[in-house]
Amino acid sequence: MTQVTRSTGSEGHARPAAGSAEASRPRPILLIEDTPSLQMVYRSVLASAGHRVAVAGTAAEGLSRFRETLPNVVLLDLMLPDRNGLDLMQDMLRLRPETNVIVITANGSINKAVEAMRAGAHEFLVKPFDEQRFLGAVENASLAREARPARRPPPQPAGPAPVTGAFLGSSEAMARIHAKIRSAARSMATIFITGESGTGKELCALAVHDTSPRAAGPFIALNCGAIPQDLLESEVFGHVKGSFTGAIADKPGAAAAADGGTLFLDEICEMAPALQTKLLRFLQTSMVQPVGATRPRKVNVRIVCATNRDPLDAVRRGHFREDLYYRLFVVPIHMPPLRDRGNDVIEIAEAALSRFAAEEGREFFGLDAEVKALFRRHPWPGNVRQVLNVIRNVVVLNEGGLVTMRMLPDAFTDHPSPPEDLPPPSLPTTDEPTLDGLIGRTLAEIEQIVIEATIARHGGSVPKAARMLDVSPSTLYRKREAWKS
């Protein structure tokens, strides 16, 4: 028989006074089952394993006992005489979200079990099941409950202040984003962040996490475009030792590592179609099955994803599953380019100047008026990332004082953005560049033609084109954004 670890009952509400006999006892497992014979069997098995058990035969009685005992684990039959078991489960989870509910259903009601998992159940048991399976499910639920990090309430922002100090910007566009983050962070809804490269999509995801009830849990970021496709499944879902060549030890994967917190999937549109199918299944069931494993396990993860591509265009091209898109695109947040954020560039630059100066042990006093004016009119094709690079260069190569034009990098001041009325170079009418189509063009125009043709040849995938051209994907993203400006 499976060894059962008993819950300590150290968290929760209405805890008995310290020093009392009740304070040291674990909370009972709540069993809600309307069939008397099954009540007796389940209760006997649990008691033999050392568990205290509270029993209820109806939904009304079950909710009453739930409020009395505040259990960490609930065993819930979905077929109750007075109410739908799913509705009861949702009421209990609203009262105490950290409760782990194991639903019990008949063999012909698998769809109900899957629906329960989507609604927040920890696990399900399909009748008939043996004693070992029954106690194993209870043990897993108890261990998961004890291992979960203590919750802390989300911070309560006052007025329109930014949701996090690292996520700067007081422009009207950013004020709308701060408001959306504060509203969405309290829910479990999936958030889909879009925007150009360098606009701060990961900082946005981190702000969602830090403002949510999951702030005490882990924040795990995974760049789907920077990992080889044949290793991506292992990175997301993990693997067991020996499951493939090079798997010398068990690896939990990002989804399991984010249990109790937030999983951030960057460049989601670069994910391979086969893995998109597995991600959709994970979103529907919250079950993780590492490569080579025989049994899945439940995790409690909030998904935030991001892309610098147009996700709907990726769907139309057949590169991204339509059903996965609609499953992920629940709360969209679009990060505006820095050129559309007014005075935010000065705020970001001055904050970066202060931070980098402290790191380098130097003293700077801010930006002079000419530099501020240049920063405001510059198109910043690399967005916030480019600002940080410019300021880091200034701090490293200068001793301090007020930042003036002469301190700025030569590459920044010597290559101003082209006039807005200058049209971009036209591309050849053929699918790929030809020598005749390149003769007479500037080197910059040829570079753009070759890069765009390579991306098109690889179905719009920037990471694949980058591998072909032997450059990093971020280089291509920055160049494409510069061509748009």
Q: Which CATH number is 399's domain given?
A: 1.10.8.60
**Is 314 contained in some domain?**
yes
8 Å CB contact between 264 and 220: yes
- Residue 271 has what pLDDT? 86
Amino acid present at 315: V
Distance between CA atoms of residues 2 and 140, nearest Å = 11
Residues 178 and 304 grouped into a single domain: yes
Q: First-to-last CA distance in the chain?
A: 67
Answer with the one of 289, 317, 336 that is the final residue of a domain.
336
Predicted pLDDT of residue 436: 64
Q: Hey, what amino acid is at 387? A: V
Q: What is the largest CA-CA distance in the chain?
A: 90
Contact of 87 with 42, CB cutoff 8 Å: no
**Residue 426: inside a domain, yes or no?**
no
Residues 214, 65: one domain? no
The reported pLDDT for the residue numbered 216 is 87
Same domain, 330 and 228: yes
Q: Please tell me the distance from the alpha carbon of residue 300 to that of residue 320, in angstroms, as a whole number.
A: 25
In angstroms, the CA 13 to CA 384 distance is 45
pLDDT at 1: 35
Calpha distance 140→300 (Å, rounded):
13
pLDDT for the residue numbered 426: 46
Which residue, of 311, 336, 361, is where some domain finishes?
A: 336
Task: Report whether 303 contacts 283 (CB < 8 A).
Answer: yes
Q: Do 54 and 183 lie in a common domain?
A: no
∠ CA 403-408-410, rounded to 5°: 165
Pair (79, 48) in one structural domain: yes
Is 273 a member of any domain? yes
The answer to whether residues 58 and 26 belong to one domain is yes
Note whether residue 17 is domain-resident. no
Element (H, E) at 137: helix 131-147
| pLDDT by 10-residue block (mean), the chain, 485 residues | 33 39 66 88 88 90 90 90 86 86 73 69 78 82 57 38 57 89 86 91 90 89 78 80 73 86 91 86 86 83 92 89 91 91 91 89 91 91 90 92 90 53 44 63 81 82 77 74 72
**Alpha carbons within 13 A on the beta-carbon side of 113:** 16
Of 75, 61, 94, 60, nearest to 28 by C-alpha is 75
Rounded to whole angstroms, how far apart are CA atoms 167 and 180? 14
Domain span including residue 405: 339-413
CATH number of domain containing 230: 3.40.50.300
Residue 111 has a pLDDT of 65
- My answer on whether 343 and 331 are in the same domain is no
Is 124 in the same domain as 203? no
User: Both tokens of residue 16?
Assistant: 């008995």
Q: Tell me, what CATH number does 468's domain have? A: 1.10.10.60
**What is the dihedral sign for C-alpha 258, 264, 267, 270?**
positive
Q: What is the pLDDT of residue 109?
A: 57
**Residue 277 domain-assigned?**
yes
Pure H helices in 159-291: 172-185, 201-210, 229-237, 254-257, 273-285
Do 218 and 124 belong together in one domain? no
> Model's pTM, two decimal places?
0.54
Same domain for 388 and 269: no
Cα Rg of the chain (Å, integer) = 28
Do 217 and 293 fall into the same domain? Answer: yes
Q: Which of 320, 336, 352 is the last residue of a domain?
A: 336
pLDDT value for 73: 92
Domain count, the chain: 4
> Does one domain contain both 260 and 343?
no
Contact 175, 160 (CB under 8 A): yes
Q: Which two tokens stand for residue 263?
A: 């999983």
1 within some domain: no
* CATH at residue 67: 3.40.50.2300
Answer yes or no: is 374 within a domain. yes
3-class SS of residue 265? strand
Question: Has residue 466 been placed in a domain?
Answer: yes
Orientation angle between helical segments 110-118 and 85-95, nearest 10 degrees: 20
Q: Backbone phi, then psi, for 198, in 5-degree steps? A: 85, 5
Angstrom distance (rounded) from CA 127 to CA 75: 13
